[in-house]
Structure 1
Amino acid sequence: MAESEVQERRIVVAVDEGEESMYALSWCLKNVVSQVSKDTIILLYAKPISSVYPSVDGTGYMFSSDIIASMENYRRNLADCVMEKANNLCKDLPNIKVETRAQNGDPRDVICDVVEKINADLLVMGTHGYGLIKRAFLGSVSNHCAQNVKCPVLIVKKPKSVGNSSVCK
């Protein structure tokens, strides 16, 4: 009998500063990724575009260049912190390759675009578990992605019994 082929999947895991995405990543690593697989985990962080508006009189931005630079620095540091935390969860997996990607844009668009471009085999996401009203105003990234990507989507809901804290402070 021939030895079965080892799986080589490309699994995108969307991560952000919320604990829900780190829970989804750890759940994926325990329940989806096999010790004998040659999976590639792509940790994807979508950096929302900052909202800086020009002033009404056209003389420049509402914020000074120092404030804008500080906001950009914060966004960069937040992305680095999220990726470091996610990488630490993956570090002890022997056969798994881990790639990181941080891209600017609306998370719905960034996630769907990356999944399509790399021809992912699976998308794993956490969910914030917003109720109907909040979801109507904010939109649901996981819902949008589940409806628009061509690969299977695994949405992992964090149990309420697991503590709530942000990943990066």
Structure 2
Amino acid sequence: MSLADRRVGVAVDFSACSKEALRWTVNNVVRDGDHLILVNVLKEGQYEGGETQLWEASGSPLIPLSELPDPSIQRKYGIKPDPETLDIVNDLAKQKEVVIVLKVLYGDAREKLLEAVDHIPLSCIIIGNRGLGKIKRVLLGSVSNYVVNNASCPVTVVKLSQEG
């Protein structure tokens, strides 16, 4: 894969820490010619039947940035992108020659993020970290920790700054 074919993945769940990771990626990683792939993993119970069952195994097709604000697309894939996330990527699209798409996966975030790394495939992946306390991390298992230890590409973990 040449540098011109870089596929930069960012795990997004439209939370404060995923927006922080996205902002960091835009400011520090993304260059002209890159593909920015937003990877959104929905857990069981966050989506109901309908067409999402078609995508359960392989995930959604790559959804172009231009289609993300469309309510029918949001319903079809069970996504709820927030205005701030859309602003970040729309601003990037105006500033740099970057292809921006969203991939929706359904299931366990740890497994699905690794799948995205291998199947898209991603050159690197950036993940926000909520900074769970030690006890919660032991009980829940940190998604970022799992991906760092198991991904076949470089992983960057961006911590949510305390100001936000």
TM superposition score normalised by structure 2: 0.73
SS in 1 for 2:81: helix
2:30–2:36 Cα contact (<8 Å) kept: no
Kept in 2, the 8 Å contact 1:13–1:125? The answer is: yes
Q: Is the 8 A contact 1:43 1:86 kept in 2?
A: no
Aligned equivalents of 1:6, 1:111: Cα separation in 2: 22
**Aligned match for 1:19, one of 8, 16, 21:** 16
Per the alignment, residue 54 of structure 1 pairs with: none
Residue number in structure 2 paired with 1:46: 41
Show the 5 A alignment for 1:6-155.
7-34=4-31, 37-50=32-45, 76=78, 79-82=79-82, 85-93=84-92, 94-155=96-157
**Aligned with 1:7: secondary structure?**
helix
Q: CA deviation at 1:85?
A: 4.2
**What is the CA distance between 1:81 and its match in structure 2?**
2.5
Question: How many Å separate the matches in 1 of 2:3 and 2:137?
Answer: 40
> C-alpha separation between the residues in 2 aligned to 1:119 and 1:81?
23
Provide the C-alpha distance between the structure 1 equivalents of 2:130 and 2:3, rounded to a whole number of angstroms. Answer: 34
Q: TM-score, normalised by structure 1?
A: 0.71
Q: Aligned to 2:91, what secondary structure does the other structure show?
A: coil
Letter of the 1:17 partner, please give it.
F
Percent identity between matched residues is 32
Structure 2 distance, partners of 1:43, 1:114, is 10
Aligned residues: 131
Unaligned ranges ≥5, structure 2 = 47-74
Which structure has the larger Rg over C-alpha atoms?
A: 1
Relative distance call for 1:149 and 1:90 in structure 2 (3 A) is same
* Structure 1 match to 2:63: none
Match of 2:159 in 1: 157
RMSD of aligned alpha carbons:
2.1
